[in-house]
């Protein structure tokens, strides 16, 4: 039972950064703007969160600051895609280069040429939400005593579902990605909702990156994100551009990572650790091959507004 609890707890931990980024992708693409720049946004957010934490020793300021500063990077994608009607795939690809580039440049600038940030002390890391609530190493403790970011991500999944499907604002955002001309007939501006979607995706992806550098590990390094943004992108497609579907898909990919950790800890396991590390990415490819063509994207996704 303890082994199962370990896998479930590890699944929740590793799926959290994916949930943040994937929810951001849902908001952007529901508004009609493709955002494949989640990888770059997460990388930049991971650095900014670590930077603020090192200098202020305030974990919550670092967490929120990562999201807010990453909005500025998402603004580049928004302006290029919405105002200048640039190819959204190319613009997102550029973000995937700019984000890590900025992160490494500023890291070397602030930390005397180092490409990694100093590690945070244990007391300066993201706190666990239910610390000392359950008996130490009990099944409930292993599963539920998670970093606060886990519960924030799950709450945001429900909040974004409510926003999109239960409020006029959310329905207008969905309409922007489906029939923006119909929105104009109501006297509403589709650009406003697209800007909101893209900037919100930057904020959430920044939180996803920060949840990596402030919770899962204790510092930023160039290889920290290493494909998580693309897995989050796959999750939103697998989840059919629905916040709850994307969240479940992220939990599935988190389970793949949890199994890697679990089996990797077994001494003399028949599969090498290098091959095990490929498992989450292989699962991503398998899922995408099975899903592409069966999921209906928003009808105006990727189309520039007139």
Task: Reply yes or no on whether the pLDDT at 104 is more than 80.
Answer: yes
Among 51-65, 220-234, 262-276, the range scoring the smallest mean pLDDT is 262-276
Q: Where are the domains of the chain?
A: 2-291
CA torsion 20-22-24-25 (nearest 10°) is 170
| Residue pLDDT, tens place only, 84-103 | 999 999 999 999 999 999 99
- Rounded Cα gap, residues 150 and 139, in angstroms: 17
pLDDT at position 165, please? Answer: 97
The C-alpha angle with vertex 246 and arms to 240 and 247, in degrees rounded to 5, equals 155
| Residue pLDDT, tens place only, 255-295 | 989 988 888 777 666 677 777 778 788 877 787 776 655 66
The mean pLDDT of 42-49, rounded to a whole number, is 98
Q: Sign of the C-alpha dihedral, residues 144, 150, 156, 158? A: negative
- Rounded Cα gap, residues 301 and 89, in angstroms: 11
pTM, whole model, 2 decimals?
0.95
| Residue pLDDT, tens place only, 177-224 | 999 998 999 999 999 999 999 999 999 999 999 999 999 999 999 999
- Rounded Cα gap, residues 94 and 305, in angstroms: 21
The mean pLDDT of 36-59, rounded to a whole number, is 97
Is residue 95 within 8 Å of residue 27, measured between CB atoms?
no
pLDDT at position 170, please? Answer: 97
pLDDT at position 293, please? Answer: 57
| Residue pLDDT, tens place only, 151-170 | 999 999 999 999 999 999 99
| Residue pLDDT, tens place only, 116-151 | 999 998 888 899 988 888 888 889 999 999 999 999
- Rounded Cα gap, residues 93 and 100, in angstroms: 12
Q: How far is CA 46 from the centre of its chain?
A: 11
* CATH number of the 2-291 domain: 1.10.3470
Bridge partners of residue 128, in order along the sequence: 147
């Amino acid at each position: 039972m303890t082994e199962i609890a370990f896998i479930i707890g590890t699944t929740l931990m590793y799926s959290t950064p994916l949930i943040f980024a994937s929810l951001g992708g849902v908001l952007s693409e529901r508004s009609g703007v493709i955002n494949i720049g989640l990888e770059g946004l997460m990388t930049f957010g991971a650095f900014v969160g670590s930077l603020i934490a090192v200098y202020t020793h305030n974990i919550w300021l670092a967490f929120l600051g990562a999201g807010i500063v990453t909005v500025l990077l998402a603004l580049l994608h928004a302006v290029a895609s919405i105002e200048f009607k640039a190819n959204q795939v190319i613009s997102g690809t550029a973000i995937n280069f700019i984000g890590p580039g900025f992160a490494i440049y500023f890291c070397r600038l602030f930390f005397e040429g180092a490409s990694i940030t100093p590690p945070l002390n244990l007391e300066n890391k993201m706190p666990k939400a239910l610390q000392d609530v359950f008996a130490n190493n009990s099944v409930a403790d292993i599963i539920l005593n998670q970093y606060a970011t886990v519960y924030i991500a799950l709450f945001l999944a429900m909040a974004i579902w409510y926003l999109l499907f239960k409020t006029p604002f959310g329905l207008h955002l969905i309409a922007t990605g489906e029939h923006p001309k119909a929105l104009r007939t109501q006297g509403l501006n589709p650009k406003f909702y697209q800007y909101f979607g893209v900037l919100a995706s930057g904020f959430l992806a920044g939180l996803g990156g920060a949840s990596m550098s402030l919770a899962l590990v204790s510092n930023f390094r160039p290889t920290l994100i290493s494909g998580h943004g693309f897995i989050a992108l796959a999750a939103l497609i697998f989840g059919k551009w629905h916040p709850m579907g994307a969240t479940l898909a992220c939990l599935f990919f988190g389970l793949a990572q949890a199994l890697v950790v679990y089996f990797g800890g077994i001494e003399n396991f028949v599969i090498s650790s290098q091959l095990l590390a490929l498992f989450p990415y292989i699962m991503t490819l398998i899922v995408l091959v099975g899903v592409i063509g069966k999921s209906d994207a928003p009808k105006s996704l990727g189309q520039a507004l007139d």
